[in-house]
Amino acid sequence: MINVIRMLNRGRSRAERARAWLVAAGTGLATFLVCTAVSLADYKDEGGSLTGLALALLALPVAGLVHQSNRLGSATRERRLAGLRLAGATPDDVRLLGALEGGRLALAGSLAGAAVYVVTHLSGPLIQVPVVMAVMALGGALSGARAGRNVIASPLGLVRRSRLRGPRAADLYRFVAGACLFFLGFVMKGSFPLAGKYGAAVAITAGAVLMLFGATLATTWVIRVSARRAARRAGSPEMLLAARLVEADPRAWARALSVVGLTVFFGAGAGAQQAPVGYHHAHALVDAALLVALVTSAAALVVHQAEELLDHRRSFAALAASGVPERALGGVLVRQAVIAALPICVVAAVAGTLAVIVPLADHYQVGWLGWAAGRAVAMAGIGVLAAVLVALAARPLLRDTLRLERLRA
């Protein structure tokens, strides 16, 4: 299997090499963030612990980018996967190949991220570095295996099946369970029955992770409703086509925009927490990390846009061949971004603000609400604007998709 990976790597295109670099860079950044977060964890220093928690949670958008890149890789390797199937490889062999490749790239990225952390934290704790590296490598392998679990290329490469999933009730249950665990950690701070003195921090962290993923995936319901509403009120063919495309696969958009949603969530929550006075150094670090998260969000959207155009390349090429101008199809991309990003950003901004205000309701002053609301609106607008800008920047990819050669079987 290692020899097969080497042969495939020798035949990679420029786009596939860029994807590999993106996976490695994302894993390295996530490794650095998690190692730094662990070094800041101190149950006696609430400001440092909050900063560490924010940095650890900001590694989740980066992990989402890595998984998106692995998914794009499984889609762009169709011909070679079909060749492997024709040579006798089973679907499990193909998934194992993806796991090995994803694990190898994740290991290389985690080594680079760990090296940067060690150089910049020579006087800090280093015992967590090998553990974080092992977790990142394992996560990359699982991501590579799961990226193609719903995609099966036929031996002749003529059929590529992808099972589309709509909204699921499990997403709502995940959000409710995370919210309960999150608030339980706050209420029982200092007396949590599990994990000793760090029990409340572990409960808050686990609850936040469940709540974030649950809220992001649960917005699939909201995206589908938004797309149906836009389709009913569509005043142009571009809006109707965009709404129907989003409605056909809302879960893919929710998954792709999860990175943007997490960034908006953290930005709104940080704004609500920055309204009171104190912890200025911690807030500055969180804002700096948010800038990194915004860049990561844009990269994740670019990856999703490429995957979206790859999946619909024959349909778009057929529309172009029938006389639909390129500008109209570019407008479809922009409208898709607005229809899908607006509900996710609004939900994330409201959830991020409430996650800070509700636990501090007894101490939160009315005068601080204006700053918190303004920060939430600004973060939601930034998220939607990022999605629109990525759609506008995808014109070269769209132009390549509209070539008549895409109509060939």
Render pLDDT for 162-220 as a digit per residue (tens, 0 to 9). 555 556 666 777 778 887 877 777 676 655 555 555 566 677 777 777 776 776 667 78
Q: What are phi and psi of 164, to 5 degrees?
A: -90, 135
Highest mean pLDDT among 52-61, 259-268, 280-289, 293-302: 259-268
Give the pLDDT score at 354.
84
DSSP-derived 3-state class of residue 325: coil
pLDDT in tens, 236-255: 888 998 898 888 888 778 77
pLDDT in tens, 324-350: 888 888 888 899 989 989 988 888 888
Give the pLDDT score at 111.
92
Q: How confident is the model at residue 225 (pLDDT cuts 50, 70, 90)?
A: confident
The torsion of the CA quartet 300, 304, 305, 309, rounded to 10 degrees, works out to 160
Least confident segment among 39-53, 221-235, 322-336, 355-369:
39-53
Q: Count the neighbouring beta carbons within 10 Å of the beta carbon of residue 56.
A: 21
pLDDT averaged over every residue in the chain: 75
Question: Tokens in use for 277?
Answer: 């006075």
Whether the Cβ atoms of residue 140 and residue 65 lie closer than 8 Å to each other: no
Give the pLDDT score at 339.
92
